[in-house]
């Protein structure tokens, strides 16, 4: 399987060891943005999609996110942003974006963010769209504000959805350097401060037609939202696997008394394996996305619950050593709370599943 090949890929492991693992604590405690790691993945070919099926690309990229999350969920989240960002362009009919921008993203020359937290909540009936667009010569003028967009920096790009006068909504790809766009870094979170997250203020930002992903965002979102959710699931799979590994390492603590705890590694491993199988099975059904949408949402919710269970168990099994703020179990605990609140959030998922 492609996923197994990726997990055992020596090149991926080498990139992790050089560009990610040494910086994990700096990412967590100093809001360090592991941009070099994300770029190296592209340079090594882990983003390319040419001559590959949607199925092959999805399976490979889910596996790369999962392996990254075993070391650092903050950076795996940045990777999710990059993959979701590329997905928008892969599905677009805009030749400029597909032929000029997408190849640079896939080669590790550019990085991108998603910008769709507010739109996804809008389509879930939870928020109004924050961005408004007005038609002008050669494109649109966009104004409004997005409270949080991640994986941004100079010369980065990200997706937006804006409401045009009337009932139309468009989706566009915007460069962080666009005139009239102001970015304000957001840190001070419980976790994931190294995610390069910014508040984005738009003031009559000109969006040329060559940046338009689709002028029918309502239909386009239906196409890309499965990948949007798929790439989130391995965030939890990777963190859960890391928590289980940590629990195993703590089994001899204080005379082996951890064996009396109600949640054991074996139980977590069985649940993790089942969710991994479900995830990769669903990812293989790319031609049948509408019929698996509810299953995909349920898997996303199940992985959040399992991750929460695993990291809490990891804290208990590790004892006092885990209660140091820079400890790995404490970092994973904080990361897991972000997964709960990542769009679609747990409450958003529960609403979608109730329909």
pLDDT in tens, 108-129: 999 999 999 999 999 999 999 9
Q: Report yes or no: 258 and 250 within 8 Å, Cβ to Cβ.
A: yes
Q: Is the pLDDT of residue 167 over 90?
A: no
Instruction: Report, as an integer, the average pLDDT of 72-87.
Output: 98
Q: Is the pTM of this model over 0.85?
A: yes
What pLDDT score does 55 carry? 87
Instruction: For the chain, give the mean pLDDT.
Output: 95
Structural fold of domain 2-111: Butyryl-Coa Dehydrogenase, subunit A; domain 1 (1.10.540)
- Each domain of the chain, given as residue ranges in start order, spans 2-111, 113-216, 232-353
Q: Report yes or no: 113 and 152 within 8 Å, Cβ to Cβ.
A: yes
Q: Interior CA angle at 310 toward 58 and 15, to 5°? A: 45
What superfamily does domain 232-353 belong to in CATH? Butyryl-CoA Dehydrogenase, subunit A, domain 3 (1.20.140.10)
DSSP for residue 263 = S
The class that CATH gives domain 113-216 is mainly beta
What pLDDT score does 286 carry? 67
- Greatest CA separation for the chain: 74
Q: Identify whether 186 is preceded by a cis peptide bond (ω within 30 of 0).
A: no
How many helices, marked H, and strands, marked E, lie in the chain?
16, 8
The answer to which of 163-167, 211-215, 336-340 has the lowest mean pLDDT is: 163-167
Tokens of 155: 């010369």
Q: Is the pLDDT of residue 1 over 60?
A: no
pLDDT tens digits for range 214-229: 999 999 999 999 999 9
Q: Report yes or no: 276 and 237 within 8 Å, Cβ to Cβ.
A: yes
Q: Is the dihedral of CA 152, 153, 156, 162 positive or negative?
A: positive
pLDDT tens digits for range 302-354: 999 999 999 999 999 999 999 998 999 999 999 999 999 999 999 999 999 99
Q: Report yes or no: 338 and 77 within 8 Å, Cβ to Cβ.
A: yes
CA distance linking residue 338 with residue 42, whole number of Å:
26
What pLDDT score does 306 carry? 98
What pLDDT score does 3 carry? 64
CA distance linking residue 47 with residue 42, whole number of Å:
5
Confidence of residue 2 (pLDDT cuts 50, 70, 90): low
DSSP for residue 17 = H
């Amino acid at each position: 399987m492609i996923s197994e090949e990726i997990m055992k890929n020596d090149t991926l492991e080498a990139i992790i060891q050089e560009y990610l693992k040494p910086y994990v604590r700096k990412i967590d405690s100093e809001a360090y943005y592991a941009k070099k790691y994300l770029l190296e993945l592209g340079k090594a070919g882990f983003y390319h999609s040419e001559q590959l099926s949607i199925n092959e690309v999805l399976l490979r990229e889910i596996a790369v996110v999962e392996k990254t999350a075993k070391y650092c969920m903050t950076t795996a989240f940045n990777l999710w942003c990059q993959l979701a960002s590329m997905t928008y362009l892969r599905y677009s009919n805009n030749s400029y974006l597909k032929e000029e921008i997408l190849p640079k993203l896939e080669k590790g020359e550019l990085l991108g963010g998603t910008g769709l937290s507010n739109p996804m909540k809008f389509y879930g009936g939870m928020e109004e769209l924050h961005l408004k667009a007005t038609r002008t010569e050669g494109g649109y003028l966009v104004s409004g504000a997005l409270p949080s967009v991640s994986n941004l920096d100079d010369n980065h790009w990200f997706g937006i959805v804006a409401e045009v006068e009337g009932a139309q909504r468009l989706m566009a790809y915007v460069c962080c350097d666009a005139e009239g766009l102001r970015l304000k870094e957001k840190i001070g979170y419980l976790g994931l401060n190294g995610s390069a997250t910014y508040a984005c203020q738009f003031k009559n930002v000109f969006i040329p037609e060559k940046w338009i992903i689709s002028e029918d965002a309502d239909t386009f979102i239906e196409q890309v939202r499965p990948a949007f959710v798929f790439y989130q699931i391995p965030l939890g799979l990777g963190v859960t696997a890391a928590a289980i590994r940590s629990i195993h390492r703590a089994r001899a603590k204080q005379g082996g008394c951890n064996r009396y705890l109600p949640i054991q590694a074996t139980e977590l491993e069985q649940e993790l394996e089942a969710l991994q199988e479900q995830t990769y099975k669903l990812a293989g059904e790319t031609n049948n996305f509408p019929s698996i949408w509810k299953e995909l949402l349920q898997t996303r919710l199940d992985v959040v619950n399992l991750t929460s269970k695993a990291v809490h168990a990891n804290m208990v099994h590790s004892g006092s050593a885990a209660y140091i703020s820079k400890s790995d179990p404490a970092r994973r605990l904080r990361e897991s709370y972000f997964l709960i609140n990542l769009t679609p959030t747990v409450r958003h998922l529960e609403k979608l599943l109730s329909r």
